[in-house]
Chains A and B, each alone.
Chain A
Amino acid sequence: MLAIALPSGRLMEECVKLLENSGISFPKEILESRRLSGIIDNKKFLICKPKDVPIYVEYGTADIGMVGKDILLEENTQVYELYDLGIGRCRIVVAIPNSLEPEEIFFRGDIIRVATKYPRIARDFFNKRGISIEILNLSGSIELAPVTGIADVIVDIVSTGRTLKENNLRIWEEIAYSSARLIANRASLHIKADEIEDLLNKLKRG
């Protein structure tokens, strides 16, 4: 049996649609109740917080998983990234207040405070640029931070850009492109190679 971890929330619906288009059934009880796991066609589906998908896969509790590249970049887990599922597309960006020029923020000599839920990605990006920063680790509504003055800039994901716009922010730099990926546990890829290859081929065709 192949165990598959899917992210809860918005991305789950897209993942389920993708699976169904590829002819892979998904357990009804998950969609119709609050159950977080279900078995169908010799496949076990686990619904986890997006951030936890790579953890379930790394430990082999799930053989494969579907998860955004943003989370893979942030979590730094040891998993194989097999395929770009092409859903959940977004960009990870540095955004700054409309009222300020980049020079006013980045070259004024102070340490810049960055609000984000992606501390690793943010630190890595600014380290490479040689810009000294302080990370403010928030869990959501990141756009609020520069407006209230608790941080100077933000690092966050953007899909349409509407939230940025409505909170008087604009993109300064794009750090990375993100979309949902099919990931696999290293050991499962050896022990359950045939089942995983079969599923991958179905997804590629679908």
Chain B
Amino acid sequence: MRYLTPPPGFRDYLPEEVEKIRLIEKTIRETCESFGYREVITPTLEYADIILLGTNIKDDTILYKVIDKDGALLSIRPEFTTSIARLITTRFRDKDGPFRFYYKGKVFRNIPFQPLMQKEFSQGGAELIGEPSLSGDIEIIALIEEIFERLNLEVYIEASHAKIIPAIIDATQAPILESIKSGDFVSIRSHIRDKEILSFIEALPFLNGGKEVIDKASRYINSIPMLEEPLNQLSELISNLEELGYNKTKINLGVIRDFEYYTGITFEGYLEDLGLPVLGGGRYDGLLEKFGLPLPATGFAIGVERVASRIKREESIPDLLIGYSKDKFKEAMRIAKEERKKGLKVEIILSDREDELNIKKGRKKIFIC
């Protein structure tokens, strides 16, 4: 035995925290179901090479790995999308899509420990598979907005497009891939000669807002021709969401998600006073093809505990607290049974004196002696 506390990156959750976590999971479940999504459960362990192929994870040390009895290398899931893609390609190969699935559960990542970055955390999310058009992306974002609306939390969704960075790389032919991935705008500057392209890259983190962003960005299409398609898609996305009354989503061309994995609209979501994203996702039309079934797909995942940390909610306490002296146990149990039948939460406590009950939490208290 080493320590009594959990290992770094793992933690216990007490009832008041669990209640918040369960509220978020319930809201995700109910909202997804109201959009016609159905829940799937996938295994906690998958073949490690399937996970690596599906996630585009370069550093395989972030996977927790175990050896199966037959010698196969398995990985504890670091996310759900790969498992769902694998499930579709094996179980729905001959069925017609689109498929709407949601999930929730724990994921595990062996990352260096730091606060707010748990190695074990819960994700809840949905995948829409087999819908190639922008209507799929709009539906997914509408679904997210609806979840946060129901949670009564102000969410900021920042939408971008995975083809923007490849468009820049295509136009410059400069070795800036790694710098872009790490968000190092300083070293990008040193590699690019073309002033127009450079001014676009420098403007990227600040190209955020409504449709006016598209107008601002459009003037760069002359120097970066491949920008046209992603900008058109983003413009259509924002117009549609606005018209439908979904107004938590803005364009932010500075949001750079893994553009080797995503293929279209991408997005991240933030809550006030939390420096890390609470959700992310986008279109990943290339993933299922890797498993032999070329289907377009889009989806999102919400970091449940991060959202839970922002929920303000009264702790749930017993509706009725029954204090009883030593010989009144059966009587207390009988009353409790009756009250529980009515749907109340009842806790019984052995107690010598009535005033001992006062320090316990309960909406109503009775004492039998």
Contact = CB atoms under 8 A, between A and B. Distances in A.
A188 B208 CA distance: 12
A197 B202 CA distance: 11
A126 interface: no
Nearest to A77: B114
A187 B186 contact: no
Contact of B277 (A55, A59, A84, A187): A187
B341 to A, nearest CB: 49
B180 to A, nearest CB: 11
A190 interface: yes
B156 interface: yes
B279 to A, nearest CB: 12
B335 interface: no
A184 interface: yes
Interface in A166-187: 181, 184-187
A83 B254 CA distance: 15
Given A59-B275, A60-B274, A190 B208 contact: yes
Nearest to B157: A190
A83 B187 CA distance: 9
A81 B189 CA distance: 11
Contacts of A8: none
Contacts of A60: 273-276
Contacts, number: 62
A61 B116 CA distance: 13
Contacts of A96: none
A58 interface: yes
Interface in B204-220: 205-206, 208
A80 interface: yes
Contacts of B206: 193, 196-197
Given A59-B116, A82-B205, A186 B186 contact: no
Most A C-beta atoms less than 10 A away, residue of B115, B274, B276: B276
A146 B58 CA distance: 36
Interface in B147-194: 156, 158, 182-187, 189
B62 to A, nearest CB: 13
Contacts of A58: 275
A79 B183 contact: yes
B272 interface: yes
Contact of A187 (B114, B187, B275): B275
Contact of A81 (B116, B183, B277): B183
Interface in B234-277: 252, 254-255, 270, 272-277
A80 B183 contact: yes
A191 B272 contact: yes
B185 A61 contact: no
Given A59-B275, A187-B274, A190-B156, A84 B186 contact: yes
A189 interface: yes
B205 A188 contact: no
Contacts of B186: 69, 81-84, 181
Interface string B128-145: 000000000000000000
Nearest to A83: B186
B210 to A, nearest CB: 13
B252 A190 contact: yes
A175 B251 CA distance: 38
A84 B275 CA distance: 23
Query: Which 5 residue pairs spanning A and B have beta carbons closest together?
Result: A60-B275, A80-B183, A81-B184, A84-B186, A187-B270
Interface of A: 55, 58-61, 69, 78-84, 181, 184-191, 193, 196-197
Given A81-B185, A82-B205, 8 more contacts: A59-B115, A80-B254, A82-B186, A186-B275, A187-B274, A187-B276, A190-B158, A197-B206
